[in-house]
Amino acid sequence: MNIGMLGAFRELDSTCEAIEDLKRQKIGHVTCFTPTPRHEIDHAMKSPPSSVRKYTLIGAFSGAVFGYWIAIWTSEYWPLVVGGKAISTWVPFTIFSFEMMVLVGGLSTVAGLFINARIPRLTMTVGYDPRFSHGDFGVWVECAPDKLKAAEAILRQHGAVEVRGEG
């Protein structure tokens, strides 16, 4: 069971300072909630870059290859013979390959988002409050029971309007 302390903040800079302080003091694993993406929070969290791009690249490449393969294979399997014309022609097949690249690449990107962001999620788990989709920022720090007091102190020190233990 996850145990931790949740702080709700009205101000963006307070939130960032609380995150930096929690990370500096190695209180526990910090999760931040924000109504809209903010680069200030990205900097405070120091998170690694998203790996969604790998899914995009692999999906797009697979789609392009599949597009060429299906067009060439079906043309060879059921040839429409026209005198002086090649059965497999790369110019029209590139159009099809391009469409498949976009389709599979796009859907792989979505799959990458879902896998990395861990959605769909069946429950909201601990450490979430509906106000974080509205206007407030949230900081959830998951930590050992003996560090809860320290976490609470840091959250309050930086101006959290509400602090509560969860888990």
Partner 1 sequence: MAAIARPERDGPRRPNIASAGVQLPAVKTYEQVDEEIIATLGPTKKWFAALALAITCLLVGITTWMYQIHEGMGVAGYSPPVMWGVYIVTFVFWIGIGHAGTLISAILYLFRAGFRTTIYRAAEAMTVFAVMTAGLFPIIHIGRPWKFFWLIPYPNWRLLWPNFKSPLVWDVFAISTYLTISTTFLFIGLIPDIAVLRDREKNPTRKMILSMLSFGWRNSEAEWRHFVRAYLFLAAFSTPLVLSVHSVVSFDFAMGLAPGWHTTIFPPYFVAGAIFSGFAMVWTIIIPIRKWWKLEHYVTLNVLDASAKMVLFTSLVVGCAYLVEFFISWYGGVPAEQDYFWNRVFGQWWWAAWIMLTCNMILPLSLFSQKLRRNPVWLFILSIFINIGMWFERFVIVVPSLSHEYEPWQWTGYKPTWVDLAILIGSFGWFFMWFLLFVKQLPVFALSEIKEIVQPRLKRAHHHPPEPNDDYEPSTPGAHA
Tokens of 22: 């929690």
Q: Which is nearer to partner 1, 149 or 161 (CB)?
A: 161
Q: Which is nearer to partner 1, 26 or 121 (CB)?
A: 121
Q: What is the dihedral of CA 93, 98, 100, 103, to 10 degrees?
A: -160
Collapse the DSSP code of 27 into the 3-class scheme (helix H, G, I; strand E, B; otherwise coil) and give the result: coil
User: Shortest approach of partner 1 to residue 148 CB, angstroms?
Assistant: 21
The smaller minimum CB distance to partner 1, of residues 1 and 122, is found at: 122
Q: How far apart, in whole angstroms, are the C-alpha atoms of residue 5 and residue 163?
A: 7
Residues forming contacts to partner 1 in the complex (CB under 8 A) are: 10-14, 31-38, 41-42, 45, 47, 49-50, 52-53, 56, 60, 70-71, 74-75, 77-78, 80, 89, 92-93, 95-96, 98-100, 102-103, 105-107, 109-110, 112-114, 116-117, 119-125, 128, 130-135, 159
Structure-token pair, residue 51: 């790996």
Q: Could you identify the residue written with the tokens 């809209």?
A: 36
How far apart are the C-alpha atoms of 144 and 20, rounded to whole Å? Answer: 19
- Work out how close the CB of 146 gets to partner 1 at its nearest, in angstroms, rounded to a whole number: 25
